[in-house]
Chain A
Amino acid sequence: SYVLTQPPSVSVAPGTTARISCGGNNIGSKSVHWYQQKPGQAPVLVIYSDSDRPSGIPARFSGSNSGDTATLTIGRVEAGDEADYYCQVWDSGSDVIFGGGTKLTVL
Chain B
Amino acid sequence: EVELVETGGGLIQPGGSVRLSCAVSGFSVSDNYMSWVRQAPGKGLEWISVIFRGGSTYYGDSVKGRLTISRDNSKNTVFLQMNSLRAADTAVYYCASHYCNAGSCYIDYWGRGTLVTVSP
Chain A residues proximal to chain B, CB less than 8 Å: 1, 30-31, 33, 35, 37, 42-45, 48-49, 54, 84, 86, 88-90, 93-101
Contacts and interface: CB of A to CB of B under 8 A. Distances in A.
A37 B52 CA distance: 25
A33 B106 contact: yes
B112 interface: yes
Interface of B: 35, 37, 44-47, 50, 52, 56, 58, 60-61, 94, 99-108, 110-113
A23 to B, nearest CB: 15
Contact of A101 (B45, B102, B107, B111): B45
Nearest to A37: B45
B40 to A, nearest CB: 12
B106 A88 contact: yes
A84 B42 CA distance: 11
Given A1-B61, A33-B106, A96 B101 contact: no
B50 A94 contact: yes
A28 B35 CA distance: 25
Given A44-B110, A48-B99, A49-B101, 18 more contacts: A1-B61, A31-B102, A31-B106, A33-B104, A33-B106, A33-B107, A42-B111, A43-B45, A43-B107, A48-B106, A49-B104, A90-B100, A93-B103, A94-B50, A96-B37, A96-B47, A96-B105, A98-B45
